[in-house]
A and B are shown apart, each in its own frame.
Chain A
């Protein structure tokens, strides 16, 4: 509000667009790479003007393994969302409506704590545990691992959305004779639906993007896309065509989802920490 009145809007517009261009340049570069052959990629005269080809994408998809990894990513991400919300939402509700200050503080401190713990701590116990139970390199091991890391964050974010649901609605429902579960399902969830969706999408994004645990816990069967991409870097003379086309395919759903939930991104990310 402030600056608007004192600086010419043309200058602001130009600066904004210029900044956007700067930010997007690396992205643009990889898009260009994905449409070039290996020869074109190293050719200085064909940087911006060249004969584009969909060859890289074709190569990527022709070999059924990439599609296999794509399916893995989708299943794991959705599974993580379902499990995380199934446990995190009721938990967040309890924390939100709890009258004990201490309980809330502990729950939130715990959420923050999990954020601080280096994920490396979990690799080895999870790996050995999965091996013992025979679930190594399956969807489940990833879903459980991700849900475990995510639920505190889900709670953190849903807590603030639930807080926005006025307690009067709870009261009204209680007077009508509804039990806690019913209040949760019939009153809270519908009202907090946008926030719930945002949190679900954030969880999806986190599971989709995760690298370290997937690297260690999966092999051929359950490998997810981020790990597959890194594999292309390791080929004899990094196959930039595959790396870039793969990257674009991995990015695509994220970009779409982000645009969809942009309104709720802030609250979803930092929950009640920001009085915004």
Chain B
């Protein structure tokens, strides 16, 4: 497995092993819309090879988180053919599937003429491919498997007399307190403080579940919101404390971008954020954290440890004009050699394929934090919380209400109890309208 992709990466046309011979789609133009992140920016650098091999042209529309979501949903919901291929944001996938916006991919996958054995579907991690199926139909393929780690600067910790990363969230608060006292010129922790499903609500559930809190009474059986539970409120308070008192300046509005910059500029002692961003956090050229950072599993709480998991996907619009051509691109973008090439040549690291992760060159390149990185990533993925982000179509709206409430607590506008109460009312209305209960 690792061998064939090795050969491909060396011959300079990554993905050639899955492309159809004879350029059957020559002259076609495809439009691809995606979040502007490591996968798509990396893919863009490889796409000239694709264009040359197939005679097709691919236009990339890369946008920021909110714009991407908005544009995608606007186009999909009106059945437009403006874009053929879509990156599927993990938290909105259930909505995309349920609303019937994507074209099923099963027929393409099963057709031996369109998809050769070299595509090696079984090479994907099962947890990744499981995401793209709804009601027995496959609507998207995985491209970006993400979990969250705790990165900590051992040199800064040492200055505060600390030698290890916090094991629990209570310890984490205490660690922050000590750091702030002993090392005042550096912020104790970096977190995504901004409101948003892909901002504060991405790491928050780790803390929530660890403290015994939850979003719903008993997902998926009893969908009434459990936002006013004492454990939930306690989790919100802990989060708000960390962001408000122990963060770098401006952290209440920080998205992953600001967290990355803070880490790179050495302004923060520890960061609880995505593993896919490791090559940015620990970049040899750009980051002060390089060579000084350890990796630890995310902290646990009284209820246990609940690591994060989310998978981005790639799919085809229901009304894409030339579906076989779009399939050609999707197939190529998720092939063994392309994902491996991306991982070897760019900071992209979150490949959903076994062959990428087992490749020795990949392991050498991503041997970050003195070899701690890869094993802990594996551990977090293996121990992931069975339900991390509730996979409901309404999560976009529900998550927004909750993340805004958390943000209001963070900036001191409301107490956790009041904010959660308000969120509970809003979520209640959304779920009732969606028919989960009366």
A64 in contact (CB, < 8 A): no
Contact B64 A235 (CB under 8 A): yes
Which of A128, A231, A237 is close to B78, meaning CB atoms less than 8 Å apart? A128
B10 in contact (CB, < 8 A): no
A127, A216, A231, A236: residue with the most chain B Cβ atoms closer than 10 Å: A236
Contact A234 B63 (CB under 8 A): yes
Contact partners of B260 in chain A: CB under 8 A: 236-237
> When chains A and B are docked, how far (Å) is the Cα of A93 from the Cα of B63?
46
Contact B82 A235 (CB under 8 A): no
Contact B71 A219 (CB under 8 A): yes
Contact A131 B257 (CB under 8 A): no
Contact B78 A235 (CB under 8 A): no
B36 in contact (CB, < 8 A): yes
> When chains A and B are docked, how far (Å) is the Cα of A128 from the Cα of B66?
21
Contact A231 B67 (CB under 8 A): yes
Contact A237 B64 (CB under 8 A): no
Considering only residues 110-150 of chain A, those with a C-beta below 8 Å from chain B are 127-128, 131, 136-137
B288 in contact (CB, < 8 A): no
Contact A231 B257 (CB under 8 A): no
Which of B66, B82, B261 is close to A219, meaning CB atoms less than 8 Å apart? B82
A273 in contact (CB, < 8 A): no
Contact B59 A220 (CB under 8 A): yes
Contact A136 B63 (CB under 8 A): no
A233 in contact (CB, < 8 A): yes
B222 in contact (CB, < 8 A): no
Considering only residues 37-67 of chain B, those with a C-beta below 8 Å from chain A are 37, 59, 61, 63-67
Q: Is the interface of A mostly helix, strand, loop or mixed?
A: loop
A238 in contact (CB, < 8 A): yes
Contact B82 A231 (CB under 8 A): no
> When chains A and B are docked, how far (Å) is the Cα of A237 from the Cα of B37?
11
Known contacts A128-B78, A237-B260, A238-B257; A231/B61 CB under 8 A:
no
Contact A137 B82 (CB under 8 A): yes
B8 in contact (CB, < 8 A): no
Contact A233 B257 (CB under 8 A): no
> When chains A and B are docked, how far (Å) is the Cα of A216 from the Cα of B67?
10
B80 in contact (CB, < 8 A): yes
> When chains A and B are docked, how far (Å) is the Cα of A236 from the Cα of B37?
7
> When chains A and B are docked, how far (Å) is the Cα of A235 from the Cα of B258?
11
Known contacts A219-B71, A220-B59, A238-B257; A233/B64 CB under 8 A:
yes
> When chains A and B are docked, how far (Å) is the Cα of A231 from the Cα of B61?
11
Q: How large is the interface on A (under 10, 10 to 19, 20 to 34, 35 or more residues)?
A: 10 to 19
Minimum distance in angstroms from A232 CB to a CB of chain B: 10
Contact B64 A231 (CB under 8 A): yes
B346-376 CB mask vs A (1 if < 8 Å, else 0) is 0000000000000000000000000000000
> When chains A and B are docked, how far (Å) is the Cα of A137 from the Cα of B78?
14
Contact B61 A219 (CB under 8 A): yes
Q: How many residues of B contact A (CB 8 A)?
A: 22
Minimum distance in angstroms from B374 CB to a CB of chain A: 23
Minimum distance in angstroms from A275 CB to a CB of chain B: 46
Contact A237 B61 (CB under 8 A): no
A127, A128, A131, A233: residue with the most chain B Cβ atoms closer than 10 Å: A131
Contact partners of A231 in chain B: CB under 8 A: 63-64, 67
In the complex formed, the residue of B with least CB distance to A128 is B78
Contact B82 A234 (CB under 8 A): no
> When chains A and B are docked, how far (Å) is the Cα of A237 from the Cα of B256?
9
> When chains A and B are docked, how far (Å) is the Cα of A219 from the Cα of B31?
11
Contact partners of A42 in chain B: CB under 8 A: 265
A219-235 CB mask vs B (1 if < 8 Å, else 0) is 11000000000010111
Minimum distance in angstroms from B78 CB to a CB of chain A: 6
Contact partners of B59 in chain A: CB under 8 A: 220
In the complex formed, the residue of A with least CB distance to B71 is A219
> When chains A and B are docked, how far (Å) is the Cα of A219 from the Cα of B260?
29
Contact partners of B31 in chain A: CB under 8 A: 220
> When chains A and B are docked, how far (Å) is the Cα of A238 from the Cα of B63?
12
Minimum distance in angstroms from B291 CB to a CB of chain A: 20
Considering only residues 77-101 of chain A, those with a C-beta below 8 Å from chain B are none
In the complex formed, the residue of B with least CB distance to A216 is B74
Contact partners of A236 in chain B: CB under 8 A: 36-37, 257, 260, 280
In the complex formed, the residue of B with least CB distance to A131 is B78
> When chains A and B are docked, how far (Å) is the Cα of A236 from the Cα of B257?
6
Contact B82 A136 (CB under 8 A): yes
Contact partners of A216 in chain B: CB under 8 A: 74
In the complex formed, the residue of B with least CB distance to A219 is B82
Considering only residues 183-232 of chain A, those with a C-beta below 8 Å from chain B are 216, 219-220, 231
> When chains A and B are docked, how far (Å) is the Cα of A24 from the Cα of B61?
35
Contact B36 A234 (CB under 8 A): yes
Contact B61 A235 (CB under 8 A): no
List the 4 closest pairs (A to B, CB-CB), nearest first: A234-B64, A237-B257, A237-B261, A131-B78
Q: What are 23 of the A-B contact pairs (CB < 8 Å)?
A: A42-B265, A128-B78, A131-B80, A136-B80, A136-B82, A219-B61, A219-B71, A219-B82, A220-B59, A220-B61, A231-B64, A234-B36, A234-B65, A234-B66, A234-B67, A236-B36, A236-B257, A236-B260, A236-B280, A237-B257, A237-B260, A237-B261, A238-B257
Additional A-B contacts beyond A216-B74, A220-B59 (4; CB < 8 A): A131-B80, A234-B66, A234-B67, A236-B37
